[in-house]
Chains A and B, each alone.
Chain A
Amino acid sequence: MDLKELYRDVILDHNRQPRNFGRIEGTDAQADGHNPLCGDRLTVFVRLNGEQVEDIRFEGKGCAISTASASLMTEAVKGKDRAAIQSLYDKVHELLTQQDAPTDASLGKLAALSGVREFPARVKCASLCWHTLNAALAHGAATVSTE
């Protein structure tokens, strides 16, 4: 098990300086995510323009994997429409859970999360933000839990 595979420079960078960190006031779509096992909590705020995510931010407290994953996610989905986000979500899920999943070129920087699959206890940390985004897009406002 190689810690460098998990804590790659991209992950550490996004943990130290999360991108799109903060709130969007008066947004039409937001959701809270909670991982009771480790106490990670985050809120994802989305501003939609039709089907397209025009702006996205997040805030909360969590481990390096959950913070970096949320930060990378906001960069990756901004400007994309729902269908493209769903397709990206499926690829991230595969990346996090399937041992020999080939790294899809469309994942871009999200590929840095591939080391997480060697650490099964940490997969929930990386996927929390995606579940929360899904909830924000589906219901507008909700709390999702990894448990």
Chain B
Amino acid sequence: MSVAAAVGERETAYDVLRVRRDFPILSRSVRGKPLVYLDNAATTQKPNAVIDRIVRYYREENSNVHRGVHYLSEVATEAYEAARTTVKRFLNARDEKEIVFTRGTTEAINLVASSWGGSNVREGDEVLISALEHHSNIVPWQLLCEAKGATLRIIPVNDAGELLFEEYEKLLTPRTRIVAVGHASNALGTINPLKRMIAAAHANGSLVLIDGAQGVPHLHVDVRDLDCDFYAFSGHKVYAPTGIGALYAKQALLEAMPPYQGGGDMILSVSFEKTTYNALPYKFEAGTPNISGAVGLAAAMDYVEGLGIEAIAAHEARLLQRATAELLRLPDIEIIGTAAHKASVLSFTMKGVHPHDLGTILDAEGVAVRTGHHCAMPVMTFFGLPATARASFGCYNNDADVTALVAALKRAREVFN
């Protein structure tokens, strides 16, 4: 059987064309060309199931949660809490109390650094992160370390962009209070060996936070199997709206942690002398939450479960493999990040063409990629690059998208010859 036939067969099994029809934006054109959206690691497009659910929420259910005794407040509260149950199920958490809605990964990590870190990290302690981290999993820890007189330590990587496990083990010391590491690198795609890393950290008496922004969209996540202490993710990278995400944390940790922000909803009673905080997870959700966002997130997770995360992962892995092979056939392309285990991220440079010029030329062909430092400047510094171009795949990308990317890169080569 020819490669093309095999590819066609598998594509039929997943039925990517049916998936594409679920995303209305994919039928629009940009710059007079059909949209080829390959910037999924930045944010994903939204399926009708999510868009329609948000519209229905505002048309039929909108009210504030946990407050009124009136009908709509009950409906909204029910929808919001049902969304929490969906997230719990998606991550395989033990209890809804362990799911705190946040604005996204960044807020979730800041919550942990501020609340847990604020009361558990002391002068002389160490926080361990990796050289692959996104700025959102660097800066909150820097702020914490600065405030506490603690030290930030960095797990180094090899030239493929893989963490050096032996170096990691050496960096685990009695002073290591927490290890904060990404599930997958947004800049390079590297999938980190979380189970081994978490086991080693726990054996050392250190907690582990996972930045799951690039994990949830592409990988089956089971927080109980991983045994991580914290898992943070953003909805918008998994086909849900922007401005909603969640923090998973083990219940005992959340119970011991002080509130992150004060306000309504996070209290049981308030007087000027003493305030009693609400039960979990509400203690960490001050103010009116992003209700429609949570409802949209649940719709996105239902949608992903409908396609099957394993099926999506297999489809994306096949696209990544094909795109990698085709890019390597082009002259002057270098792929940055060649880890053995990668999520569907393809970072690259073209000799003689700055990534920013590449981005403009690809855009003129309707191909949306990210160019720049991907909010991971230390990764770029390690590879001695100011920037790369990055194509990242989602559940709706297909072989035609890869073909369009390759054609646009050939066009860039022509322009710069």
Contacts and interface: CB of A to CB of B under 8 A. Distances in A.
Interface residues of A, number: 19
Contact of B355 (A6, A7, A38, A119): A38
Interface in A98-147: 119, 121-122, 125
A37 B411 CA distance: 24
Interface in B356-401: 356-357, 360-361, 364, 371-373, 380, 386-387
B386 A40 contact: yes
A64 B415 CA distance: 11
A39 B387 contact: yes
Nearest to B387: A39
A1 B355 CA distance: 19
B28 interface: no
A44 B28 CA distance: 44
B71 interface: no
A90 B109 CA distance: 45
A38 B416 contact: no
A120 to B, nearest CB: 11
B387 A119 contact: no
A12 interface: yes
A39 B361 contact: no
Given A38-B372, A39-B386, A41-B386, A64 B354 contact: yes
B70 interface: no
Contacts, number: 47
A121 B104 CA distance: 27
Interface residues of B, number: 19
B31 interface: yes
Interface in B48-104: none
Nearest to A67: B354
Nearest to B361: A3
Contacts of A37: 372
Contacts of B364: 1, 3
Contacts of B354: 38, 62-64
Interface in A23-68: 37-41, 61-65
Given A39-B380, A63-B356, A7 B415 contact: yes
B415 A3 contact: yes
B360 A12 contact: no
Given A7-B416, A39-B386, A64 B357 contact: yes
A38 B386 contact: yes
B386 A61 contact: yes
29 contacts: A1-B31, A1-B364, A3-B360, A3-B364, A3-B411, A3-B415, A6-B360, A7-B416, A12-B416, A38-B355, A38-B356, A38-B371, A38-B372, A38-B386, A38-B387, A39-B373, A40-B356, A40-B386, A61-B386, A63-B354, A63-B355, A63-B356, A63-B357, A64-B353, A64-B357, A64-B416, A65-B356, A122-B356, A125-B356
A126 B371 CA distance: 17
B357 A65 contact: yes
A62 B372 CA distance: 12
Contacts of A122: 356, 360
Contacts of A40: 356, 386
A37 B359 CA distance: 13
Nearest to B354: A63
A11 B386 CA distance: 21
A38 B108 CA distance: 27
Nearest to A4: B415
A52 B281 CA distance: 68
A141 B354 CA distance: 27
Contact of B360 (A39, A41, A62, A121): A121
Contacts of B387: 38-39
A7 B356 CA distance: 13
Nearest to A119: B360
A6 B363 CA distance: 13
A37 B374 CA distance: 10
Nearest to B414: A3
A144 B386 CA distance: 18
B335 to A, nearest CB: 19
Contacts of B356: 38, 40, 63, 65, 122, 125
Contacts of B353: 64
